[in-house]
Structure 1
Amino acid sequence: MQQDRIEALAEAIYDASLDPTGWPQAMALVRDSFETGAACLYSLDYARRRMRPIEVGDIAPRFRASFEASFYTDDNPSARSPALHRPGIVRTDQRLDDYFRDAGVLQRSRYYHEWLQPQDFAHSMGVTPLAGDGIVFNLSLLRSAAVGPFRAEEVRRFERLQPHLRRALRTAQRLETLTVEGGATAAALDRLSQGVIFVSGRGRVLHCNAVAEALLRWGSGLALRGGRLTAIDPAAQQGLAQLLRRAQELTSDGASDGPRS
């Protein structure tokens, strides 16, 4: 059951990486899966003291506007813990306390009193799936005191989700480069002369461009069956399965259902 939930979340995240209008739905699924009041995806530029929202629809406009002034303060431990903002490290209230060896360090900060507490956010869990060039991308889950701290099982499940998010953000960055060069994301992919198919580690097709769609329709060696990429020739199917397994083994994070292309 938990594996199915992670796969559903991962699929929504990969869809959003190809079509940014899908981020609200993806974050809504994350929010509901972890029983949070807010699931926020955004980037931070510490040098310029800026926040760029990707999807923060759970936050009221006035708090979006005041975030930078409350977050980038000298007493905010969340802004003074670079070791916890390395890619792949899951942050929780307890881990922040342990890092500073100071119980309740966040609850005494201006950020907590001005920004978190007025929204009834008492507990948080976050991760930095991607960082580079002075920019960190964060996914933060915020919940009320009534719901309680994030449990160990939730932390483990969150850890399994973040490699998918890292891959999705990398895909989004690459496609954004194509988009800047001209045209929407889907159109940019369709301009490629090669067929591009994004598939999960288990062969589920997540997206394909126009050339790839034509190849699948023509039955040129590959076919789409039950939503999965398969080879028409049984012998070739074995080779395709081996390629997918090999691609999965080569990923540094070892997540079970990331996209391949």
Structure 2
Amino acid sequence: MSPSDAFERCLAALYEAALDDTRWPAAAALIEEAVGTGGSALSVGEGFDGDARITFSRYLERGQSREDLAREYASVYHLHDEALPRLRLLPHGQPVHVPDLYTENELKTSLVYNEAFRRWRSHEGLYVRFDGPDGSRIVWTVANPVGGDGWQTARLRLFDRLLPHVHRSVLIRQALAAADALGSGLTGLLDNDRIGVVQLDRGGRVLAANGPALEILRRGDGLTDRDGALRAAAPRDDGRLQALLGRALPDLWGAAPEGGSMTVERPLRQAQGRLSGRPPLSLHVSPVGDAESDFGGRRVAALVLVVDPARRPRIDPVRVAASLGLTRSEARAAALLAEGRSVLEIADMTGWQAGYVRRLLKRIYRKQGVSGQVSLVPRVLALEALPRD
């Protein structure tokens, strides 16, 4: 295959992969063959020094996943890699020979270079750093050249030609993933003014909030968004909130995200010359989306519903039953869930066992063809906006 033909085939594969992440392994395999390397890795990271972290990583060898290598690097070698501070400062889109990121002494002593990279046959590979959105970094790595002849000029030239297209494909994938995560259900929920809604990215930063939530955040009424992060005003509550968010936000190689609920105390309010207490806010946190297909893009990763008892919506279960084809019990549970009640609150209000409430909700999700609370609540709330008979 001529270099021109190889370039055209790689280009077509890259843009197919940008529109469908399942095609990335095939595109990577084609590029690896064309440039003469045994494997490649695509990673996205953010932050510096002690705050630096990997938000996406995919290691491949001729189209086959090597998640084992990605996990091993993250858990064993990442914190000890002497090259990373230099890699983060590389000019955008400029290839660098892997050994050039280590000092002469490090080339002899580095655990990462001598143990991991030699075993993975990537110690003579190439690194390229690209600028990503919101200050993130996209890093594309290719392993050692195959054949024993080193990096040939023609193949390096092809590699250079492909670089801007690799970068653009990743940016497209990130943008599409972000747009998909902000689909009609999530976006529509922001328009609802009867329950507070806060959308968080994978790092726990606030991406968007609707009117009721913004009002609470501005007043510091139990919650704040200092420095762009959602926090509880009371330190005791904030520790619990950060733990809850930590479980709901994606961890690239950790446990699957899970939701949860809690309450946060609100400051006393001056009323008629006296300080008076108010009912706490109820928070319901749910994970959103698939972290494996977003290519490290900044997307909605968790949804926080903020329920103020003073303005809690009242939803008609009879209407829910008629509109969604639910039984009376299912409709009552769905209505209470959309009002911002937790499973335990629903059980307490109805006299049902918590296990029965969970089974009811799972049955509702199956009937409605939705994955959970995040998808069901907007559907129920939308009924209240429809004209009544």
SS state at 1:42 partner: strand
SS state at 1:122 partner: coil
- Cα RMSD over matched residues? 2.8
- Structure 2 residue 95 is the aligned partner of structure 1 residue 90: yes
**1:85-134: per-residue Cα shift (whole Å, max 9, x none)?**
3321111146546xxxx457445322113321222333111212333434
TM-score calculated relative to the size of structure 1: 0.58
SS state at 1:37 partner: coil
**Does the 8 Å CA contact 1:42/1:53 hold for their aligned counterparts?**
yes
Q: Which runs of 5+ in 2 are unaligned?
A: 185-389
Alignment of structure 1 residues 23-38 onto 2, 5 Å: 23-38=24-39
**Does the 8 Å CA contact 2:46/2:53 hold for their aligned counterparts?**
yes
**Does the 8 Å CA contact 1:73/1:111 hold for their aligned counterparts?**
no
**Does the 8 Å CA contact 2:77/2:112 hold for their aligned counterparts?**
yes
Partner residue of 1:76 out of 77, 82, 88: 82
Question: Runs ≥4 in structure 1, deviation > 6 angstroms?
Answer: none
How far, CA to CA, are the matches of 1:67 and 1:75 in structure 2? 9
Deviation at 1:9, TM superposition (A): 0.6
TM-score calculated relative to the size of structure 2: 0.41
**Does the 8 Å CA contact 1:9/1:30 hold for their aligned counterparts?**
yes
How far, CA to CA, are the matches of 1:81 and 1:36 in structure 2? 20
Alignment of structure 1 residues 174-189 onto 2, 5 Å: 174-182=175-183
Identical positions, percent? 21
Deviation at 1:21, TM superposition (A): 0.7
Structure label with greater radius of gyration: 2
SS state at 1:80 partner: helix
**Does the 8 Å CA contact 2:19/2:173 hold for their aligned counterparts?**
yes
Deviation at 1:144, TM superposition (A): 6.4
1:40 maps to what in 2?
Answer: 41
Higher relative contact order (CA 8 A, sep 6+): 1
Partner residue of 2:54 out of 48, 51, 55: 51
Q: Which runs of 5+ in 1 are unaligned?
A: 184-261
Residues 148, 106 of structure 1: alpha-carbon distance in 2 compared, 3 angstrom cutoff: farther
**1:166-221: per-residue Cα shift (whole Å, max 9, x none)?**
221222222112211228xxxxxxxxxxxxxxxxxxxxxxxxxxxxxxxxxxxxxx
SS state at 2:41 partner: strand
**1:45-72: per-residue Cα shift (whole Å, max 9, x none)?**
3444432445323364432212124543
SS state at 2:122 partner: coil
**Does the 8 Å CA contact 1:90/1:155 hold for their aligned counterparts?**
no
Letter matched to residue 56 of structure 1: Y
Residues 172, 60 of structure 1: alpha-carbon distance in 2 compared, 3 angstrom cutoff: closer
SS state at 1:36 partner: coil
How far, CA to CA, are the matches of 2:117 and 2:178 in structure 1? 34
**Does the 8 Å CA contact 1:76/1:106 hold for their aligned counterparts?**
no
Q: How many residues end up aligned between the 2 structures?
A: 178
Alignment of structure 1 residues 124-135 onto 2, 5 Å: 124-135=125-136
2:329 maps to what in 1?
Answer: none
How far, CA to CA, are the matches of 1:4 and 1:21 in structure 2? 23
**Does the 8 Å CA contact 2:35/2:158 hold for their aligned counterparts?**
no
Residues 177, 60 of structure 1: alpha-carbon distance in 2 compared, 3 angstrom cutoff: closer
1:63 maps to what in 2?
Answer: 69
**Does the 8 Å CA contact 1:123/1:145 hold for their aligned counterparts?**
no
Deviation at 1:18, TM superposition (A): 0.5
1:141 maps to what in 2?
Answer: 142
How far, CA to CA, are the matches of 1:33 and 1:25 in structure 2? 12
- Structure 2 residue 125 is the aligned partner of structure 1 residue 119: no
How far, CA to CA, are the matches of 1:50 and 1:148 in structure 2? 35
Deviation at 1:146, TM superposition (A): 6.3
